[in-house]
Amino acid sequence: MVIGAGPAGENVVDRAVRGGLSAAIVESELAGGECSYWACIPSKALLRPVELHAAAERVPGLSVGRIDAAAVLARRDEAVSNYDDGGQAKWIASVPATLVRGKARLDGPKRVAVGDRVLVARHAVVLGTGTGALIPDVPGLAEAKPWTNREATGVKSVPRRLVVLGGGVVACEMGQALHALGATETTLLVRGGSLLPRNEPFAGEAVEKALRESGIDVRLRADVTRVERPVEGGPVTVHLGDGSTVEADEILVATGRTPNTTGIGLPSVGLPEGKYVEVDDSLRAKDVPEGWLYVVGDANGRNLLTHMGKYQARVCGDVIVARARGDKEDDGPWSSLRAGADGRGAPQVVFTDPQVAAAGLTAAQARERGHTIRVVEYELPSVSGAYLRADGPGKASAVVDEDRRVLLGVTFVGSEVAELLHAGTVAVTAEVPLERLWHAVPSYPTVSEVWLRLLEAYGL
């Protein structure tokens, strides 16, 4: 029994059924989840034309007119299947698994109530309920009916004046997309001193520079004290600690996430509500006896990223099958029954222009964990491939574990660096020794040649 038909929940079902079990999955909204309708998919559909427009403007010989926002929004609608989950429901049926529509709540061990029905799981219950947007406790903010990632990615009419609270991925991505699509007056109010604070500092700096150069007003260390929207649908005024105000047509809140673990019956199995549910590397809830409850994806708080949720789901599905069969649980470091990659620093791409693509640990995180490290860096415009693509500015860095001579982390910032990342994810996750990486020759003239430059910079 899986609660929540997002990408994580769906992958559990897929693996469990492949392993010979039967599965049901309960969803109260759209099968496919947050990612498919209100996050990854629509945001990237909005960002791609913006990025391509910038790329075409950089290379001599092409002339691109203005972006046709209506066409972009229409493509977004296509990308989210017009918010119709028929295709997903069909996929679930094809697994085959049972899709139960409704709001599920735990009702004691292995029991899931949906409306009047109580379903009892034979082997396991898996929570994949995800997270929702966190609305910070600022006077007047909730009353102002702010946009979250849902309204921003689902935009029908782009506001001329937009104010964004936040400086993380959603704030940067949606601030840039909406600005390019018509929000000519866009302001980012960032509480901290930098954008994208979980990445290497140069990442946030590069994105900040790009946002500013495009005309977005980025205000760091902004102390939002109060929000006013006297007339519903009318302009919104944000008051800052320094006495200044920002007026806009819409306000987007992108200040973090909160787990969807309230109202799903967690107290019936002895767990608190409204918190991330802690799990072990087999995705089993730590504080539930007899090990029948698993949590995958955002709701366990390990890595709030679709691909890591799906990774956990594959592990979780396989674990449930192995336990149902009474198979030996392999606990070696590379076992497929262990979500070991969760701890190494998940790969992530921020689809702004410039993009930020990083895997593993930042230098600061590596030092915090006590590693002896050396950091090497290289400017992307010095790579022939980046020049030939007519890329904008960019930089790559690698964090080397000096004791073991493996990479602990890599970061790429620049035009369309997304696909450069997987080589880093492989090198970091699989702990490929530098001596072997030295023989993995990047093809010339790709941008990936920066891999050679990083190793040369290290002294190989």
Residues within the annotated binding site for NAD(+)?
166-173, 256
- Does residue 348 touch a second copy according to CB under 8 A? yes
# chain residues binding a second copy, by CB under 8 A:
82
Does 90 engage in binding with a second copy (CB under 8 A)?
A: no
228 phi, psi to nearest 5 deg:
-130, 135
405 binds a second copy (CB under 8 A): no
Q: Is 283 in the site for a second copy (CB under 8 A)?
A: no
| Residues 319-338, interacting with a second copy (CB under 8 A) | 334, 336
List the Cα angle 257/263/264 in 5-degree steps. 95
The single residue among 297, 447, 453, 454 that binds a second copy, judged by CB under 8 A, is 447
| CA neighbor of 291 nearest in space, from 282, 299, 300 | 282
The residue within the footprint of a second copy, chosen from 60, 233, 326, 370 (CB under 8 A), is 60
Spatial separation of the C-alpha atoms in residues 119 and 97, rounded to whole Å: 14
Residue in 65, 243, 326, 370 binding a second copy, rule: CB under 8 A: 65
Task: Give the tokens for residue 63.
Answer: 């002339």
Phi, psi (deg, nearest 5) at residue 203: -70, -55
Q: Does 302 bind a second copy (CB under 8 A)?
A: no
Virtual CA dihedral for 377, 383, 385, 387, nearest 10 degrees?
Answer: 120
- Given the rule CB under 8 A, which of 108-116, 141-149, 374-382, 419-427 is the region that contacts a second copy? 419-427
Task: Return binding residues.
Answer: 44, 166-173, 256, 298
| E runs forming strands in 342-417 | 348-350, 355-360, 373-379, 395-401, 406-414
- Of 68-76, 146-154, 204-212, 274-282, the segment contacting a second copy by CB under 8 A is 68-76
Measured from the CB of residue 228, what is the shortest distance to a second copy in angstroms?
35
Residue 29: HSE in the Cβ half-sphere, 13 Å Cα cutoff = 17
Candidate residues 302, 310, 395, 453; the one interacting with a second copy per rule CB under 8 A: 310
Q: Which position among 164, 337, 420, 454 is part of the footprint of a second copy (CB under 8 A)? A: 420
* Residue 52 contacts a second copy per CB under 8 A: yes
Phi, psi of 358 (to 5 degrees): -140, 150
Stretch binding a second copy (CB under 8 A), from 21-29, 193-201, 251-259, 307-315: 307-315
Close Cβ partners of 69 (under 8 Å, ≥ 6 residues apart) = 158, 181, 182
Contact window for a second copy (CB under 8 A) among 87-95, 256-264, 277-285, 339-347: 339-347
Measured in Å, how far apart are the chain's first and last C-alpha atoms? Answer: 52
Does the protein bind a second copy through residue 44 (CB under 8 A)? Answer: yes
Q: Using the rule CB under 8 A, which residue among 134, 432, 457, 458 binds a second copy?
A: 432
Residues 6+ apart with CB under 8 A from 370: none
Which range in 259-267, 321-329, 345-353, 393-401 contacts a second copy by CB under 8 A?
A: 345-353
Residue among 5, 4, 7, 1 nearest 314 (CA): 7
Q: Determine whether 245 is exposed, middle or buried from the number of CB atoms within 10 Å of its CB (0-12, 13-18, 19+).
A: exposed
- From 162, 177, 349, 406, residue interacting with a second copy (rule: CB under 8 A): 349
| Distance separating alpha carbons of residues 114 and 107, to the nearest angstrom | 10
Q: Does 382 bind a second copy (CB under 8 A)?
A: no
CB of 338 to a second copy, least distance (A): 9
Q: 357 in helix, strand or coil?
A: strand
In the complex, what is the shortest distance from the CB of residue 266 to a second copy, in angstroms, rounded to a whole number?
A: 27
